[in-house]
Amino acid sequence: MGQKGYLVLENGQVWQGDSFAAAADVNGEVVFNTGMVGYPETFTDPSYFGQILVMTYPLIGNYGVPRDFQIKRINANFESDKIQIRGLIVSQYIDHQKHYQSVQSLADWLTRQRIPALTSVDTRTLTKTIRQKGVMKGIITFTPPPENTGGFSFYDINKENLVPNVSCKRILRYGTGKIKILLIDCGLKLNQIRIMLEYDTTVIRVPWNYNPFTAENPPEFDAIFVSNGPGDARTMPETINTLKEAMLKKIPIFGICLGHQLLALATGASIFKLKYGHRSQNQPVINNLNGRSFITSQNHGYSVVTETVPADWDIWFTNLNDSTNEGLLHKKLPFFCVQFHPEANPGPNDNRWLFDYYFEIVKKWQKI
């Protein structure tokens, strides 16, 4: 630590900090997360692909990083096989490994994967700036920027489909259970597979643009699950068309996060970009059908336009902070989706009942 680094925002603001990882210049969308724990899971969440992450909790790194190993061909401690964030900004990096599972420091982990990180940044003021002006394009650089930052070229990650960067490239199978789930991988968090394998399932993980209705020799499946992922769902017409066809065939569907937005688009609804998104493990939502509230884990920058949802769908969940849509449930058919992360990692496990709900529907609808 000691080398100076700079976060340059597209509005011309420059934030100086001390480097504690790789000295690599990167472009990205600057967003913030208000979670207090769970940085190994957060940094490996593929929904963060292309983003420079600001952590609002002041102490980051104080329990190190657990070892990287697999159980049943699934990474046991992380939500993907590598760090997905483009860069990291923190107020205070704590170079500790005070945890029984820790095998390396956060700095070493980031450095090995060529991820730049800055500490000693006023993240409170930086977060206020993002809240007021919205998420912005930014650059982490280790060359002192000139007074006029107009010479920088800022990259807009939202102009392209980011999902091919994080989706699997071929069909992968997990488990040998009776219930066959076609999991459309848009950049999934691995805990979704871990939880599904607790049921009597075979999970068939397919690339984001795989269409089982047009593919040669498609696998047999009973239901569809659509994962989370990065970017704008409107850049994914292939996945949207697959979901439209699945709904016509009345195949049970469960979507999470980006999967929620994709299913909404398949119904004919619209989505819009939030000013600064929801990224934390403390987002309150309410179930509009029974009045129960839940604390949820979230990571998204887009939301469904409630007014565009078709009449045959219920507005299932609503965010209690800003009243944005958090879930949809078809009134008669076996389709539903939520904007939050019931699989957690990190975050509360209060919403895992949604997996019970899903498998009950699948078994009932498909008579398994």
Task: Note down pLDDT in tens along the chain; length 368 residues.
Answer: 679 999 999 999 999 999 999 999 999 999 999 999 999 999 999 999 999 999 999 999 999 999 998 888 899 999 999 999 999 999 999 998 778 999 999 999 999 999 999 999 999 999 999 999 999 999 999 998 866 656 678 989 988 999 999 999 999 999 999 999 999 999 999 999 999 999 999 999 999 999 999 999 999 999 999 999 999 999 999 999 999 999 999 999 999 999 999 999 999 999 999 999 999 999 999 999 999 999 999 999 999 999 999 999 999 999 999 999 999 999 999 999 999 999 999 999 999 999 999 999 999 999 98
pLDDT value of residue 149:
57
Is 257 among the residues known to form the active site?
Answer: yes
User: What CA–CA distance (Å, rounded) separates 50 from 31?
Assistant: 10
Q: List residues bridging with 119 in a β-sheet.
A: 18
pLDDT value of residue 147:
66
pLDDT value of residue 81:
96
Active-site residue, selected from the candidate residues 29, 41, 326, 343: 343
Q: Would you give the end-to-end CA distance of the chain in angstroms? A: 58
Task: Please list the residue range(s) of the chain that carry CATH number 3.50.30.20.
Answer: 4-159
Helix/strand/coil for 182: strand
For 4-159, CATH number out of 1.20.120.1200, 3.40.50.300, 3.50.30.20, 3.40.630.40 equals 3.50.30.20
Q: Do the strands 70-71 and 74-75 form a parallel or antiparallel pair, or are they unpaired?
A: antiparallel
Could you tell me how far CA 93 lies from the centroid of its own chain? 24
Task: Please list the residue range(s) of the chain that carry CATH number 3.40.50.880.
Answer: 163-366
Which 8-state DSSP code applies to residue 97? B
In order, the DSSP letters of 261-316 are HHHHHHHT--EEEEEEEEEEEEEEEEETTT--EEEEEEEEEEEE-GGGS-TTEEEE
For 163-366, CATH number out of 3.40.50.1820, 3.30.420.40, 3.40.50.880, 1.25.10.10 equals 3.40.50.880
The radius of gyration computed from the CA coordinates of the chain, to the nearest angstrom, equals 20
Helix/strand/coil for 214: coil
User: Residue 138's CB: how many other CB atoms inside 10 A?
Assistant: 29
Active-site residue, selected from the candidate residues 29, 79, 186, 257: 257
Active-site residue, selected from the candidate residues 260, 278, 300, 341: 341
